[in-house]
Amino acid sequence: MSDQAKNPPRDYLKPPMTEVGVLGWLRSNLFNTWYNSLLTVLVALLLWQLAPPFLKWAFFDSAWNTAPEVCYESEGACWSVVSKNINFIIFGFFPDGQQWRPGLSMLLLLGLVFYSRDRNHWRRSLGVYWLIGLSVMGTLMYGGVFGMPVVETAQWSGLPLTFMLSFFGMVAAYPLGVLLALGRRSRMPAIKSLCVIYIELIRGVPLISLLFMSSIMFPLFLPEGVTIDKVLRAQAAIILFTAAYIAEVVRGGLQAMPRGQFEAADALGLTYNQTMRLIILPQALKIVIPPTVGILLSAFKDTSLVVIIALYDVLKTTKVSLSNPKWTGFSTEAYIFLAVLYFICCYAMSSYSRRLEKELHTGH
Amino acid sequence: MDEMTTGATPATESIISIRSMHKWYGDFHVLSDINLEVQSQEKIVICGPSGSGKSTLIRCINRLEEHQRGQIIVDGTELTNDIKNIEKVRAEVGMVFQHFNLFPHLSILDNLTLGPIWVRKTPKKEAEEAAMMYLEKVHIAEQAKKFPGQLSGGQQQRVAIARSLCMNPKVMLFDEPTSALDPEMIKEVLDVMIDLAREGMTMLVVTHEMGFAKSVADRVMFMDYGQIVEQNSPHEFFDNPQHERTRLFLSQIL
């Protein structure tokens, strides 16, 4: 506001030296009470003890792209377990020589995600780009045209599988969850109780058992000769599972909306659909961005549970690489690599959500 | 002489007519045997102690509250469970709330154009021109790009009035429009309402601003215990109240 300009003339002093700058920051954050000062000193000592040996192990003494024999002799980390197996870790059983196809698909997916993060691009054309992009990705992965040999979904594995399961899991579960939340607040008893039953049933069951049911029990109920792709069944289980959790979070947001907003929309003569789409959901979904992102992050990480129905996501392909006798004993390095990979994805999501929250903030 | 419906033979068709209307909240009989005829361009101020049912009454007129017995007919359309009729009435009846109820995620301009664009299907450009005209009228055009959270209470309430006006309503309902405002902001809102009254808007105003009632109202109505106790011209109402409860109420607030 321009209040400062209207203030009457008088001396405006700078705050004291010890309150601003590096000194002020140190004082107010690290040494503001005697116990915080003590903690600061202790943590500094601990870092002094731990950081140099770790850096020595991870960087100075480490082997980056060597034969396993070299690793046995060195004291440091053996990153070669990752670099020498990177093809299998990333692409799994996708046939050799065809791995550019999932590689290109992933780049395309990341590119589209990157393009979509700018809210100015949220137009009708964006939907068209996504449709084109997704069909290109599907064609690349499955093949069968342009001289690309067919690769069955059973061979889709590694990072592309993880990305696929989590991306479609989140993108499909979100709108489904919103619909379930609206349904649970519906005045129509049939819709309401259906939604309640669905949400409570799904939330009362672990994801693993849902995956089991989709992969083992579900086919038993299908008529003879009908089969549904295994990856697709796992994908459906993840979507249904995540949607139930999203629904409850969104319902929380809907309940936080003041009654006046509904009344003002009613008083203008807006229909139920318009009220929800234009007034209520934009505000309610914004309120619940933090818990929603929490659910999406755990959905992303939970895709690694598909290993129990014999799908090879990036966690499983890493484990398979480690089962090679040449590379046993270097699991620490391989899992650190995986942790970094997962962290990058999760951190990107959560920092984007924070940016979105800031952009959508319209209050004071 | 509890009910005195003005004009036994109305000269014109009433824009609002309420006939022996009753409303209950559960077991609680909140409105009892309400009869009210409102002529076009008439300004009615409704006052009464809190809990007397005055807000509930005007909220029944655009069906924010449902009545259980009797009839409410607004501009020839009777309010029943028919959602189409309800939406039709709501589009013709503007409402201003005590707590403004602007849409905080939309800019001031978008708050104003939302109704015309989605309910009246007005083209966006036309709706924006009309919105700017009404913002001009409530002396707040320079704030069009801001968000509600950046305005003062008085400014927000003026925006809320403009938002209702954008729908070209035939009737405006005001539900204690100045009760949530700081004293220095009450006048700017009342001035806008006075302008509106001079231009011939049909208004039903629930308020405790007796100065406004004296200068603007055609009729002042006193409600207590869910009934219309007394209604009269402001002059008669304030100088010569007929009913004991009215006299008691006036002695408390004036």
Helix, strand or coil, per DSSP, at residue B221 = strand
Contacts of A362 in chain B (CB under 8 A): 104-105, 147-149
- My answer on whether A197 and A283 are in the same domain is yes
pLDDT band at A60, cuts 50/70/90?
confident
User: Of the candidates A84, A119, A151, which is a domain's last residue?
Assistant: A151
Taking CB atoms and an 8 Å limit, are B90 and A282 in contact across chains? Answer: no
Taking CB atoms and an 8 Å limit, are A271 and B62 in contact across chains? Answer: no
What is the model's pTM? Answer: 0.83
The label of the residue with tokens 């599907």 reads A138
According to the model, what pLDDT value does residue A346 have?
92
According to the model, what pLDDT value does residue A75 have?
80
Q: CA angle, corner B9, sides to B8 and B11, nearest 5?
A: 130
Give the phi and the psi of residue B160 in degrees, each rounded to 5. Answer: -60, -35
Taking CB atoms and an 8 Å limit, are B101 and A269 in contact across chains? Answer: no
Please determine, for residue B2, whether its predicted confidence score (pLDDT) is greater than 90.
Answer: no
Say which DSSP state A328 is in: T
- My answer on whether A189 and A106 are in the same domain is no
Distances from the Cα of A206 to the Cα of A82, A168, A295, B13, B30, angstroms: 32, 20, 15, 66, 50
- My answer on whether A115 and A199 are in the same domain is no
Give the phi and the psi of residue B45 in degrees, each rounded to 5. Answer: -105, 130
CATH number, domain with residue A225: 1.10.3720.10
Its ipTM equals 0.89
pLDDT band at B3, cuts 50/70/90?
very low
Query: For residue range A247-306, what is the model confidence (pLDDT) as tens digits?
Result: 999 999 999 999 999 999 999 999 999 999 999 999 999 999 999 999 999 999 988 888
A99 assigned to some structural domain: yes
- My answer on whether A262 and A213 are in the same domain is yes
- The total number of structural domains in chain A stands at 2
Contacts of A267 in chain B (CB under 8 A): 62, 64, 90, 93-95, 97, 164
Query: For residue range B150-166, what is the model confidence (pLDDT) as tens digits?
Result: 999 999 999 999 999 99
* Cβ B66 vs Cβ B86: under 8 Å: no
| CA pair distance B162, B17, nearest whole angstrom | 26
A196 assigned to some structural domain: yes
Say which DSSP state A337 is in: H
- Domain containing A208 equals 170-360
What are the strands, taking DSSP E only, across chain B? 16-25, 28-38, 43-47, 69-74, 77-78, 93-96, 171-175, 202-206, 219-224, 227-232
A82 assigned to some structural domain: no
User: Side chain identity at B254, as an amino acid letter?
Assistant: L
A229 assigned to some structural domain: yes
Structure tokens at A138: 């599907």
Query: For residue range B118-140, what is the model confidence (pLDDT) as tens digits?
Result: 999 999 999 999 999 999 999 99
Contacts of B58 in chain A (CB under 8 A): none
Within an 8 Å CB–CB cutoff, is residue B103 touching chain A? yes
